[in-house]
A and B are shown apart, each in its own frame.
Chain A
Amino acid sequence: MFDNLSEKLQRVFKNLRGEGKLSAENMESALREIRMALLEADVNFRVVKQLIENIKQKAMGEEVLAALSPSQQVVKIVHEELIKILGSHESKLRFANEPPSVFLIVGLQGSGKTTTTGKLARWLSRNGHRPMMVSVDVYRPAAREQLKVIARETGQPVYEGAAEEKQPMELARAARRESANSGRDVLLVDTAGRLHIDDQLMGELSELKEQLNPVEILFVADAMTGQDAVKSADEFHKRLGITGVILTKMDGDARGGGALSIRHVTGQPLKFVGVGEKFDALEPFHPDRAANRILGMGDILSFIEKAGEAIDQKQAVEMQRKLIENEFTLEDFRDQLRQIRKLGPLGSLLDMMPKVGMLKDLKDVKIDEKEIERVVAIIDSMTPRERDNHMIINGSRRRRIARGSGTSVQEVNQLLKQYAQARKMMKGLSGGFIGRKLGKMKMPAGFPFGNMPGM
């Protein structure tokens, strides 16, 4: 259901190629698409408004670069603007001069606080700290029990407190004493989930803050949150002064536009992302990846960069022309395959692509470098005329090619069929030769370069 922005923009810019400027006219429908994409990614509508304004300013009148198609160029601008808001890489945590450093973990109900507390304890202990956890969630059924189990599973200590103790403040104070006494340098305080409009419970957090003097107040937010994300984050920030955001459940296919919005309204850095229910599923936040995800694209810029090193630009432009004019021959096909091989292991390229939207299909696609080799061998065994016009390759030619390449007639047949299909698909596409979204071109199974860009 998600269409990625770069594809939509390719449609918008179909008629603008390699010449002219981005103008008010051609940008209008592009901006509409961008706006739509951002809203569908749950970026807050107010943030969207401002982003669109910035993008417009930046794009207007820019020369269309020869190396990039207009759509790629616009995507690049959008991407840069998103990164500006998402901020820099910031997984650093602060620590107090005098241990234990208290971290308060706060957020709405069910956002992932308790799980994240366990993940942080594990992360801290692997980074040379001696954390301790405490749950001050005296409300939700089995909340404290949950943290106890997590402590067991992660092998990190928890201050349990007496079951009858029902005062969050008492539990926290006792845990801090215990941390200090047992030489723990960080105390992670897992708090109960609460609504930002629940005055009483928000007041409880303010008190905890006052008494415990935490160095970090981490707001745990669910990546699936929609337009309301800014309201809750803003309110938590106003009442407490949060120091960072942790975005959970990023292992699904939510675009996470709410995160961008939270960063925008609170100005506080995104420090980590949660990518699973297991306790090692915690990663530093990468603004570029987050921006790509919002746009529903892979790590296209890194990809363009990497591809740029391996691929001759002039040749690339020529290839693009051929693709569009449907002059793409088997020979060109082989050249492209060779270039792709120069890019190095395909696996690492695919890893740059987040598994969201339709890209999640990628995990089923096996890219077999041996098969690329075989295809190159088959094409090598053809005569120049055959490579130029695949239509003339009849039965006896196929047998000859199979023999020459050490493959079977079926394999030759399959390649020709796939090439014909690929050609047809490419005809339907427009835009740059690279940076086209992986995965969309549903190549037949077993097609070795099935989901390669530029194919």
Chain B
Amino acid sequence: MIQTLFGTVEQEPSLLEKLKSGVQKTRAGLVSALEDALQGKKEINADLLDELESTLIASDMGVRTTEEILERIRQRVERHQLNDAAELKGLIREHLLEILQASERAPAHVAEPPAVILVVGVNGSGKTTTIGKLAARFKSEQRSVILCAADTFRAAAIEQLEIWGERTGSPVVRQSPGSDPSAVLFDAVSAARARKVDYVIVDTAGRLQTKENLMAELQKMARTAKKVIPEAPHEVLLVLDATTGQNGLEQARKFTETSGVTGIVLAKLDGTAKGGIVVAIARELDLPIRYVGVGEKVDDLLPFDAEKFIASLFEI
């Protein structure tokens, strides 16, 4: 069962299955890195820990999280609570699970539609595509959806969203390029309320978190949504590219500070990048990961599942 803004629905194919059936890969995209590190090793020694460290670092989890895990292992080895290399997997999985589950949070309950979802993130992370996939998902749950083309800046951003609107049978509220994003949002939310539509998903222009004026624009959009519906936006999703390195933490921090992010979508997890930065994000910012993107097609979006994610991280 997975939770949505309006309650729970049935669970579907697993991340690993999906990843494996995704693009045709020249080599196994997800080599079992941890397995490699542990290959044929029994004893826990400095060399093994070094390799382990490299494996964790390579997932973009960050130095701090990595050090924390290694420290835990060292302590247990010292206290003779851990002797066998094979036990390491379990320990790492347990530690990561703890971090990821601690930040899990059910989405806000929306008593009366529309639920307004604001989708934000840096340039090219996968926002618009994620919106198309979300729309498809909500439609399959028999919900009505309006898309809001509030990226009025990037070349052909509106057209791109319109194609996703056609693909998913969702009307798109738009204005001309260059118009005020808040004005488009106001139109969309008002229209959704009038027509009793379940979801309004708002596409925003990509912006780097260091651009203060653009971040302020997001705040204005959130304020505008509140003018129509005081509780809106009900969900603010930060779309993060799975290839992102340590800057991802700064992204999550700044977007949360300025636009109140309530959840992460990890896009492009179908590549070889592991998306380990979300572990650091969950740990430091206590943000839940809601979905993962595993392709460019309409159904390539899966609810996040901590255990499966960790399994895909190292195939443990």
Q: Contact residues of A with B, CB < 8 Å?
A: 1, 36, 39-42, 45-46, 108-112, 114, 139-143, 145-150, 153, 195-202, 222, 224-229, 231-232, 235, 249, 251-255, 257-258, 277, 360
Contacts and interface: CB of A to CB of B under 8 A. Distances in A.
Given A109-B268, A199-B26, A277-B123, A41 B241 contact: no
A254 B245 contact: yes
Contacts, number: 160
Given A153-B155, A249-B122, A253-B210, A141 B25 contact: no
A197 B29 contact: yes
Given A110-B241, A226-B244, A227-B57, A195 B23 contact: yes
Nearest to A48: B57
Q: Among B163, B245, B253, B272, which residue has the most Cβ atoms of chain A within 10 A?
A: B245
B57 A39 contact: yes
Contacts of A39: 57, 63, 246
Contacts of A249: 122-124, 208
Contact of B27 (A139, A197, A228): A197
Interface in B267-288: 268, 270-274, 277
Nearest to A228: B273
A198 B25 contact: yes
Nearest to A192: B296
Given A112-B123, A196-B271, A226-B60, A145 B248 contact: no
Given A198-B23, A227-B59, 8 more contacts: A109-B126, A112-B123, A142-B162, A199-B25, A202-B26, A226-B245, A252-B208, A253-B209
Contacts of A108: 243, 268, 271
A114 B62 CA distance: 31
Contacts of A195: 23, 268, 270-272
B25 A226 contact: no
Contacts of A228: 60, 243, 271-274
Contact of A1 (B122, B125, B210, B250): B250
Contact of A197 (B23, B122, B248): B23
B29 to A, nearest CB: 5
6 contacts: A142-B162, A199-B24, A227-B57, A229-B243, A252-B247, A254-B247
B249 interface: yes
B272 A110 contact: no
B106 interface: no
Q: Which of B160, B208, B268, B277 has the most CB of A within 10 A?
A: B208
A153 B272 CA distance: 35
A226 B26 CA distance: 22
A150 B132 CA distance: 23
B156 A258 contact: no
B54 interface: yes
A257 B24 CA distance: 29
B178 to A, nearest CB: 11
A40 B63 contact: yes
A277 B154 contact: yes
B58 A224 contact: no
Contacts of B156: 142-143, 145-146, 148-149
A108 B126 CA distance: 12
A42 B29 CA distance: 21
B159 interface: yes
Interface string B128-171: 00001000000000000000000001111101101110010000
Nearest to B29: A197
Nearest to A363: B212
Interface in B192-247: 208-210, 241, 243-247
A111 B162 CA distance: 22
A141 B241 contact: no
Nearest to A252: B208
Contacts of B23: 195, 197-201
A1 B248 CA distance: 13
Given A232-B271, A360-B210, A197 B25 contact: yes
Nearest to B28: A197
Nearest to A148: B156
Given A39-B57, A45-B58, A360-B210, A222 B160 contact: no
Contacts of B167: 141
B125 A110 contact: yes
